């Protein structure tokens, strides 16, 4: 079985792992230097903003998106995660990442890799064995059934390598037709495996982007993905995804965002209005 993909933070927070290199499940991009990390804070609980109707929404200008990108780049650098060309690994890793942290996801992935010879063996194994292998990743009953469902829906042997030859829309549609696979998971596979221009919008990217005025408050995930693609400068999909994600993890927390210490405060309508 091939080595595992990675994402942004160590052990694959996915998205925080950079694929296919090293041992443990990969972190896609390196963490920012400590000196750049947010200082301790006295954050206040986050408020909830009402949804904005689509008809009342004005998308951010390209200039504003570039300014935010540049500010994030100053804080977090430019992440690098060359495409690893292991789309099935990436898909399984992304399934394992649901409702758990990067470390537990990586442990589950590596156990799965070590206990079975290849993805065909995972598909043919008793589901209880798959469930036992990935137990450290949480909700293992659901995930084991989903993984086997995906593997059964693929060819023999299971592979997604052909996606590299498809255009993004076709490849995305094919992925989203698999059991339990949605836009975010498909975008992870396309971006991290092949460097295709797609952008995963997870809970951090969604929250930070909405507070910064990139997304319409109340937008459903399908719209968030479409809007994220529309505003992201071509070729910078990985950078914008990873740096928004990092900012969500380090500073712009869901419950207690550290607005007073946030380097984006002056550019953030949500943070300024909370002062
Ligand atoms: Fe998030 Fe910073 Fe805006 Fe506060 S000022 S909401 S921490 S991006």
Predicted local confidence at residue 267, as pLDDT: 95
Q: Which residues pair with 8 in a beta bridge?
A: 15, 16
Q: What is the average per-residue pLDDT within 186-190?
A: 97
Q: How confident is the model at residue 38 (pLDDT cuts 50, 70, 90)?
A: very low
Predicted local confidence at residue 12, as pLDDT: 34
**pLDDT tens digits, one per residue of 65-97:** 999 999 999 999 999 899 999 999 999 999 999
**Torsion-angle region of residue 85: left (phi > 0), alpha (psi -120 to 50) or beta?**
left
User: How many Å lie between the centroid of ligand 1 and the Cα of residue 259?
Assistant: 5
Ligand 1 nearest atom to the CA of residue 46, by list position: 6
Out of 250, 254, 258, mutate this one to test ligand 1's pocket (max ligand atoms within 8 Å of CB): namely 258
Q: How confident is the model at residue 45 (pLDDT cuts 50, 70, 90)?
A: low
- Whether the per-residue pLDDT at 25 is higher than 60: the answer is no
Q: How confident is the model at residue 178 (pLDDT cuts 50, 70, 90)?
A: very high
Is 43 close to ligand 1, i.e. is its CB under 6 Å away? no
Nearest protein Cα to ligand 1, atom 3 = 271
Return d(Cα 246, Cα 259) in angstroms, integer.
15
Percentage of the chain surpassing pLDDT 70?
A: 83
Local structure of residue 7 (DSSP, 8 states): E
Return d(Cα 6, Cα 264) in angstroms, integer.
28
Q: What is the average per-residue pLDDT within 244-257?
A: 96
- Cβ-count burial 238-272 (b if 16+ within 10 Å, e if not): bbbbbbbbbbbbbbbbeeebbbeebbbbebbebbe
Q: Choose among 39, 16, 41: nearest CA to 26.
A: 16
Is 258 close to ligand 1, i.e. is its CB under 6 Å away? yes
Predicted local confidence at residue 275, as pLDDT: 67
Ligand 1 nearest atom to the CA of residue 259, by list position: 4
Q: How confident is the model at residue 47 (pLDDT cuts 50, 70, 90)?
A: confident
- Whether the per-residue pLDDT at 255 is higher than 70: the answer is yes
Q: How confident is the model at residue 37 (pLDDT cuts 50, 70, 90)?
A: very low
Ligand 1 nearest atom to the CA of residue 211, by list position: 6
**pLDDT tens digits, one per residue of 137-146:** 999 999 999 9
Average pLDDT, the chain: 87
Q: What is the average per-residue pLDDT within 95-108?
A: 95
Out of 257, 269, 274, 275, mutate this one to test ligand 1's pocket (max ligand atoms within 8 Å of CB): namely 257
- Whether the per-residue pLDDT at 29 is higher than 60: the answer is no
Out of 38, 41, 72, 262, mutate this one to test ligand 1's pocket (max ligand atoms within 8 Å of CB): namely 262
User: How many Å lie between the centroid of ligand 1 and the Cα of residue 251?
Assistant: 7
Q: Which residues pair with 15 in a beta bridge?
A: 8
User: How many Å lie between the centroid of ligand 1 and the Cα of residue 241?
Assistant: 16
Is 264 close to ligand 1, i.e. is its CB under 6 Å away? yes
Predicted local confidence at residue 110, as pLDDT: 97
Ligand 1 nearest atom to the CA of residue 247, by list position: 8
- Give the range among 10-14, 154-158, 257-261 with minimum mean pLDDT: 10-14
Q: Choose among 103, 111, 101, 105: nearest CA to 132.
A: 111
Is 262 close to ligand 1, i.e. is its CB under 6 Å away? yes
Percentage of the chain surpassing pLDDT 90?
A: 79
Is 151 close to ligand 1, i.e. is its CB under 6 Å away? no
């Amino acid at each position: 079985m091939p080595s595992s993909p990675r994402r942004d933070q160590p052990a694959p927070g996915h998205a925080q792992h950079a694929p296919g290199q090293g041992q443990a499940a990969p972190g896609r991009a390196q963490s920012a230097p400590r000196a750049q990390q947010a200082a301790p804070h006295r954050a206040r609980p986050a408020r909830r903003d009402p949804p904005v109707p689509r008809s009342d929404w004005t998308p951010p200008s390209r200039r504003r998106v570039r300014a935010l990108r540049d500010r994030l780049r100053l804080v977090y650098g430019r992440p690098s995660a060359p495409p690893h060309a292991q789309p099935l690994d990436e898909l399984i890793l992304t399934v394992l990442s649901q409702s758990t942290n990067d470390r537990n996801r990586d442990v589950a992935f590596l156990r799965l890799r070590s206990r079975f010879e290849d993805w065909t063996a995972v598909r043919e194994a008793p589901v209880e064995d798959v469930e036992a292998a990935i137990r450290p990743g949480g909700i293992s009953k659901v995930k084991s059934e989903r993984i086997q469902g995906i593997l059964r829906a693929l060819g023999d042997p299971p592979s997604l390598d052909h996606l590299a030859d498809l255009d993004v829309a076709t490849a995305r549609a094919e992925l989203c037709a698999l059991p339990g696979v949605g836009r975010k998971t498909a975008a992870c596979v396309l971006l991290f495996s092949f460097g295709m221009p797609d952008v995963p919008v997870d809970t951090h990217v969604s929250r930070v982007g909405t507070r910064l005025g990139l997304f319409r408050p109340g937008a459903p995930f399908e719209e968030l993905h479409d809007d994220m693609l529309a505003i992201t400068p071509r070729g910078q999909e990985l950078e914008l995804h990873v740096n928004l994600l990092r900012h969500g993890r380090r500073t712009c927390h869901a419950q207690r965002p550290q607005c007073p210490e946030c380097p984006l405060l002056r550019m953030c309508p949500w943070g300024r209005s909370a002062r």
